[in-house]
Copies of this chain bind each other. A is one copy, B any other.
Amino acid sequence: MRAAVLRGGTVQARVIDDPVPGPGQLLVRSLACGICASDIHFMDHLEAGADDDSGMSTYDRDVDIVMGHEYCAEVVDHGPGTERRIPIGTRVSSLPVLSTGTGRRIIGQNPESPGGFGEYLLLDESLTRVAASELPSEIVCIADAISVGWSAASRAQLTTKEVPLVIGCGAIALSVIAQLRRLGVGPIIAVDFVASRRGTALAMGADVVIDPAEISPYQAWRDVAHGSPESTKEMIAMAGLPGCVVFECVGVPGVLDSIIRGCERGTRIFSMGGPPEGDHLSTLIAKRKGLNIQFGGGPSLQHWDEAFEAVCSGSLDVTPMLGRTVGLDGVAAALDASRDADGPVRIVVVP
């Protein structure tokens, strides 16, 4: 098959062997696959694997890896030992995890579990879901990106005495915003340096958008949540004013620490970024403020299924997140373009 192949830290379109479905696996054809910041994290930080003892990703510059874990695909063949419950030709997607004889693998991060930046990939039949949708594959494939923020926003279980602050307006942030909106939580305050991203955040359900170059996000949060720029921490504590829940959706070193320094006492932080370089955090300040940080964690299967259904049914409109599409020859340049915070939220590969 043709594929955009990662090797030695760079991506090139060329022909490699077709994947062969093993027990319980489906062979599918990639119809569309979104480019995610975690693809760039992965290709730029292959040395980060020294820390990962899960075996779910292969960190090796000297093997061929086809990235891409946000796919919409079409069933081509059923592997041995499958239930064959999904007919050939059906449009599908899945949580990007593949069971193999030697353990579970993240799809798009291993030689034996190629992703959607190639013509064919393998899915776990038990995780595969039918795309019951009239929407184009370029929209359906965005569901996986939605699932991460959907899961975080759901797990956060905000009370009516809490007001969310979303830092960054990329794909994860937008899905956090969309799910908070559906859960009836608000006002939702979102922050990004880039005007177009702030516009997309409003389209996805944010109530207030902030340019951090103009005002401190934490002061802006206080103005909105407490209704008074002059409210002091003691007034807030005594009046039982709303607490702060921050969603960190940037993944650049320094951002989580700036949240720790800027946020209110007792803030709950959901950190979705997880930069490969790690981060120097002001732990004494975190201790003084009694902060809680919940780190990432992928979506639960239930939340993935919920997000996929919401996108397929059209009840969650992700059209504002879609930028342009590219072919396999354009993947390398599109990955580079995705480094630009001013670009579209999602560039989608159509092999």
Q: Is A286 positioned at the interface, with any CB of B under 8 Å from its CB?
A: yes
Instruction: Find chain B residues with CB under 8 A from A291 CB.
Output: 294-295
Oligomer: number of copies: 2
- Of A12-20, A85-93, A193-201, A276-284, the stretch lying at the interface with chain B is A276-284
Contact A284 B293 (CB under 8 A): no
Q: Is A240 positioned at the interface, with any CB of B under 8 Å from its CB?
A: no
Instruction: Find chain B residues with CB under 8 A from A296 CB.
Output: 286-288, 290
Could you tell me the distance between the alpha carbons of A278 and B258 in the complex, rounded to whole angstroms?
13
Contact B280 A274 (CB under 8 A): no
Q: Is A61 positioned at the interface, with any CB of B under 8 Å from its CB?
A: no
* Given A278-B284, A279-B281, A279-B283, A297:B293 Cβ within 8 A: no
Contact A285 B51 (CB under 8 A): yes
Instruction: Find chain B residues with CB under 8 A from A272 CB.
Output: 287
Contact A275 B279 (CB under 8 A): no
Instruction: Find chain B residues with CB under 8 A from A279 CB.
Output: 280-281, 283
Could you tell me the distance between the alpha carbons of A257 and B281 in the complex, rounded to whole angstroms?
11
Instruction: Find chain B residues with CB under 8 A from A294 CB.
Output: 290-292
- Shortest beta-carbon distance from A229 to chain B in Å: 16
From B281, B284, B295, A290 is in contact (CB under 8 Å) with B295
Could you tell me the distance between the alpha carbons of A275 and B290 in the complex, rounded to whole angstroms?
14
Q: Is A181 positioned at the interface, with any CB of B under 8 Å from its CB?
A: no
Instruction: Find chain B residues with CB under 8 A from A103 CB.
Output: 234
* Given A261-B51, A290-B295, A293-B293, A276:B271 Cβ within 8 A: no
Contact A52 B285 (CB under 8 A): yes
* Given A54-B233, A261-B51, A280-B279, A271:B297 Cβ within 8 A: no
Q: Is A48 positioned at the interface, with any CB of B under 8 Å from its CB?
A: yes
* Given A51-B261, A54-B233, A293-B295, A283:B273 Cβ within 8 A: yes
Could you tell me the distance between the alpha carbons of A48 and B285 in the complex, rounded to whole angstroms?
9
Mark contacts of A50-65 with chain B using CB atoms, 8 A cut-off: 1 yes-contact digit, 0 otherwise.
0110100000000000
Contact B271 A275 (CB under 8 A): no
Instruction: Find chain B residues with CB under 8 A from A51 CB.
Output: 261, 282, 284-285
Interface residues of A (CB under 8 A from B): 41, 48, 51-52, 54, 103-104, 233-234, 256-257, 261, 266, 271-276, 278-298
- Given A280-B281, A291-B294, output 19 extra A-B contacts at Cβ < 8 Å: A52-B288, A54-B288, A104-B234, A271-B283, A272-B287, A273-B283, A274-B283, A274-B288, A278-B280, A278-B283, A279-B281, A279-B283, A280-B280, A281-B281, A283-B295, A287-B295, A288-B296, A290-B296, A290-B298
